[in-house]
Amino acid sequence: MQPKVIALIAAFAATVPLAHWMTGNIGTACVTDGPCLLPVGFGLGAPSGALAIGGILSAMFAAPALIFASVLAFVLAELADLASYAPLRKHSLMLAVFLSGVAGSIIDSAVFLWFAFGSLEFILSQVVGKAWMSLLVLAFLPFKQRAVK
């Protein structure tokens, strides 16, 4: 077996204990006898270890600039999403979902494009595409709200 293959297998294997450690120690909120969570939008938190696995696995297939840009964009966009969603949710769930999604998509697009490619040339198309996805989610919210009641 080639040294590169051995190194890649070892790196992949190392993601598991790293993800477990992060899940127990890093997050914006830690659940008693549960995981530490990072916000992923819509008031939801995901175990922080998922970010470690995604970032490390990306390292096996993508250029370093793309990996850095992707992880940084994800973290900053989710923080912006959470910061805008939490206060707006008290007033209107529909408005909170849409505006927090737009805020997150603008931050995500700007950070990713700038750090990955040094250009914001495609920011408008990315933000518009992501806004369509936010609108699609909005279309399903009334059904979710009825199901919860």
CB 128 within 8 A of CB 142: no
Q: So what's the pLDDT on residue 111? A: 92
Mean pLDDT of the chain: 79
Return the residue matching tokens 């209107």.
92
Q: So what's the pLDDT on residue 57? A: 64
Closest C-alpha to 52, from 14, 105, 78 = 14
Residue 94 to residues 85, 100, 106, 122, Cα–Cα distance (Å): 10, 10, 18, 27
Q: What confidence tens digit (pLDDT) does each residue in 47-96 have?
A: 777 666 666 667 667 777 877 887 788 888 888 887 888 888 888 888 88
Strands (DSSP E) contained in the chain are 29-30, 36-41, 44-47
The answer on pLDDT for 100 being more than 60 is yes
Q: So what's the pLDDT on residue 107? A: 93
